Every structure is written in structure tokens, then in C-alpha cells.
Amino acid sequence: METSKLTGKRIKEYLFQGKRFDGRNLEEFRKITIEKNVSKKAEGSARVKIGNTDVIVGVKLDVSEPYPDSPNKGNLMVTTELLPLSSDRFESGPPRFPAIELGRLIDRGIRESKFIELEKLCIKEGEKVWSVFIDIYPLNNDGNLIDAAGIGAIIALKTARFPKYDEETGRVVYGEFTDKKIPLSKDIPLIITTHKAGESIIVDPTLEEEDVTDVRVTIGGSVNGLIFSLQKGNSKELTIEEMSKILDFSEKARKKVFSEIERYLN
């Protein structure tokens, strides 16, 4: 059930006082728990929990043809399936707008940051390159799926190992892993979504809060303050002051989240 108008009004009133229903600050994240290598068959995987939100991200590698416009670069593909088990709002079937958008947001954040050194994934120019597939599966949706998926994606990429590649037959031998890791750059893109509810700017909303937010801004950036990607969601507008506040909030949140997940990044 969607959050009712009445509850929404109360949430906004409370946010205006600087308080949240679960007792957090406006710029505070819920507890983040991370589990690495949850899947035995995937090349890399991670399970990220932010509060009650629970997401599994898997990385799969395959050898395929490069795209004509990037003959010497590997391919990157991010797909999301919003599983019906994770929320009463998701239905099975072909992906709809929210699922496609979530995939695109993570894709853009990772691609534009040049986090994966796609040039190094080339086997033979114009013929064979490695393809990286990132699959996102939410197990429980209690708001802020985007950030959870973003954290999951970078950790899954960090843990991923190449499978054995048989050069004679040109096939990938799944199930046999090598020690080689995906070539990654040092600039880690952390995707943080900031929301505006009423007059207040918040990060990491619960599902209830997410229902009443007017504007959503997703920013992919590094801890040093570099911004790689930016997308605004929902239909309301923002003033310049609000936008600078959002940038400020997301940078603070990014530093805090990074310090929490840093130990999983090795």
C-alpha cells in the first residue's frame, strides 16, 4: 500500500522540525551491512542491506563481440529485475520504467567514472572482448534501492574474478576461476541519492518517506568530490540554493558511506 496522504503530511511536518520517524538525522544513513561473495556461481557478488532494504548484486563475465563504435573496449551491461517478492508494488514480467531507470542510473554512474578500465578488457580488437554484466536483484524494498544497488555494484565488481578462458575453443569455462581481477581504477563511484520532501532535504529515505518526496537527485561521484553523473527524478522543480544544499548533503553522505564500506573494498 502506498503511504496515505495523512501520513505523508505528518512526515513532512516532522521533517520540517528536523526529525524523522525512525529517529535519524536528515543526513544520516541507516545501518549498512555488507556480505561479499554470496553467490558461488557468479564471478562476483555482494549483498547489501541498508536498514530493511536488501539487495543482491551479481557480476557475470563473458566473451563476446565489441560494439562497432568501441572495437577496443569491453562491454558493460547493467540490468535490474524488481522481484515481486521484494515489495507488493512490483509485478513479474518485462521490466518497467522503475527497473529500467535503476539499471541506467547505476550504469551511468559506473561507466562515466571510468571505474572499469574497459580498454583492458579487449582480447582481440574488433573481434573479442570481455563483457561485464551487472545484475541487480532487490530482496526487500524499504526505500533507497538506488544507493544500495550502487554500493552492491562496486563491491561485486571488486570481488569479481575472471573465469577460465579457453583460447583454442574460444569459450569461457564457467565454474573455474582464475586469480585475475577486473581492472578497476582508483576513483570509486559512489551513487548517493538525495531527496527533497516538502522543504527538507534528506538522504536515505525509507519507503514511507520515499513516497512523499517531491524531487530526487542521484549523484555518482568519488570521495574526493569529483562528480561523474547526475540525474534528477520526479516532476517538481528545485531552486539554485536547494541544489547547492543537495550537492553539499550528498558529498557529506558520500564520505560517511565510504568510511563504512571502505573495509569491504579490498
Partner 1 sequence: MTKEKNNREIVIPGEVIAKGEEYLPGEGTEKIGNEIIAIKYGLAEEFNRLIRIIPLSGVYQPRNGNVIIGEVENITFYGWVVGLDAPEDAFLPLQEVPKYVSKDGLSDVFDIGDMLVAKIVGITNRGIDLTVKGRGLGKVEGGIIIKINPSKVPRIIGKEGSMINIIKQESNCDITVGQNGLIWIKGDEIENELLVKKAINFIAEKSFASGLTDEIKDWFEKEKNEGKRSKK
Binding positions for partner 1, rule: CB under 8 A: 1, 4-7, 10, 13-14, 19, 21
* Cβ at position 213, least distance to partner 1 in Å: 17
Closer CB to partner 1, 30 or 47, in the complex: 30
Closer CB to partner 1, 90 or 177, in the complex: 90
Closer CB to partner 1, 10 or 256, in the complex: 10
Closer CB to partner 1, 13 or 248, in the complex: 13
Closer CB to partner 1, 23 or 175, in the complex: 23
Is-contact 26 18, C-beta < 8 A?
Answer: yes
* Cβ at position 195, least distance to partner 1 in Å: 19
CA 8/CA 10 separation, integer angstroms: 5
* Cβ at position 209, least distance to partner 1 in Å: 13
* Cβ at position 24, least distance to partner 1 in Å: 13
HEC string of the chain equals: CCCCHHHHHHHHHHHHCCCCCCCCCCCCCCCEEEEECCCCCCCEEEEEEECCEEEEEEEEEEEECCCCCCCCCCEEEEEECCCHHHCCCCCCCCCCHHHHHHHHHHHHHHHHCCCECHHHHEEECCCEEEEEEEEEEEEECCCCHHHHHHHHHHHHHHHCEEEEEECCCCEEEEEEEEEEECCECCCCCEEEEEEEECCEEEECCCHHHHHHCCEEEEEEECCCCCEEEEEEECCCCCCHHHHHHHHHHHHHHHHHHHHHHHHHCC
Closer CB to partner 1, 14 or 258, in the complex: 14
* Cβ at position 14, least distance to partner 1 in Å: 5
* Cβ at position 102, least distance to partner 1 in Å: 25
